[in-house]
Amino acid sequence: MVKIKSLKYSELEAFVLELGEKKFRAKQIFEWMHKGVRSFDEMKNISKDLKEKLSEKADLEALELETVQVSKKDGTRKYLFRLSDGEFVESVLMEYSYGNTVCISTQAGCRMGCAFCASCEGGLIRNLTTGEILDQVLAVSKDIGEKVDNVVVMGVGEPFDNYDNLTGFIDNINDKNGFNMGMRSITVSTCGLVPEIKRFAKEYPQVTLAISLHAPNNELRNRLMPVNRKYELKTLLAACREYVKTTNKRITFEYILIEGVNDTAKQAKELADILKGLLCHINLIPFNGVIGKEFVATKREKAEDFKETLKELGFEATVRRELGSDIDGACGQLRSKRR
């Protein structure tokens, strides 16, 4: 069975021709898929004969909505989706003044092993297909009855560990025949896979890149993020400087603040030192407690002090607004509970 939602538009055209149909049918099918239909029968302007061919030859890859949690504090919506093989992934809808933003997953599980993250529990089960990544956005959009304005690829999994399906998703959601989301409305976050950072800079220079940093030195980052043992900070930051030079875009560095681990004034200065001269924004993220992890969130006042230290040293920094704190906000928690 062809995973039809994973096909790029040109590939869908070729598939339609193989079915003995006119090429224009591809546009109709593509448009329907990007409206979030869950079956070929919902595609109103294609023939019964074509629907039968599609049912025999193609899999629409529609995710099953298992659970939705809605924050009473800020309206954040957290979705748990069941995949066709019984695995689960999470997505989160966040409402901002600049529009609806959906955070999506790229893998069922993760093999990066970050010490503070719930997504890594159980390791990597499998990569999501292009269609499964895309369907999270389509399902959320359909659920709220509104268009999604921005996508953040920052959910369960390491996006660059599933590079081809990630970029297939970007191509499809950007396609003018479908959802037509601008490249600048997409942000991809990585824990620091250097070869893919370099490749992404050349292939998708308009997409925003975020780096999960979380430590200002190799000793601490090795403890928090095993990926640093392969791509230590000097190597990672060299790739980041190369990225900025190639794309002329600033990088967002994500830094989860953990009480007594990485949140001192000294560590703020150390962070400023390693990022000196690099076009960037530092996004300070209050740690969202994870069951079974020993870490505790830095208090808001101390987080603001950390931010002010960075600003005094010439860096743009913000403390991210806490969203969904009354639901399973940390990535991977809802999935972990369900599994």
CA distance readout (Å), 164 to 30, 81, 187, 267: 20, 22, 16, 36
Q: Could you tell me the two tokens for 171?
A: 């191509």
**Catalytic residue flag (residue 331):** yes
And the tokens for 273? Answer: 């030192």
Among 90, 132, 196, 254, which one carries the catalytic annotation? Answer: 90
Asked if 105 and 89 touch (Cβ cutoff 8 Å), the reply is: yes
Could you write out the DSSP letters of every residue in 42-99? Answer: G-TTS-HHHHHHHHHHEE--PPEEEEEEE-TTT--EEEEEE-TTS-EEEEEEEEETTE
Among residues 120, 191, 240, 331, which one is catalytic?
Answer: 331
From CA 2, how far away is CA 7, in angstroms rounded?
Answer: 9
Contacts of 154 (CB under 8 A, 6+ apart): 103, 104, 187, 189, 210, 331
Strands 99-104 and 150-153: parallel
Which residue carries 């093999």 as its tokens? 111
Residue ranges in the chain assigned as alpha helix (H): 9-18, 24-33, 48-57, 130-144, 163-174, 194-203, 218-224, 233-247, 265-274, 300-312, 333-338
- Stated length of the chain: 339
Q: Which value, to the nearest 10 degrees, does the dihedral of the CA atoms of residues 14, 18, 23, 28 take?
A: -90
- Dihedral angle over CA of 253, 179, 328, 335, nearest 10: -100
Question: At residue 217, what is the residue type?
Answer: N
Beta bridge partners of 317: 282
Active site members: 90, 331
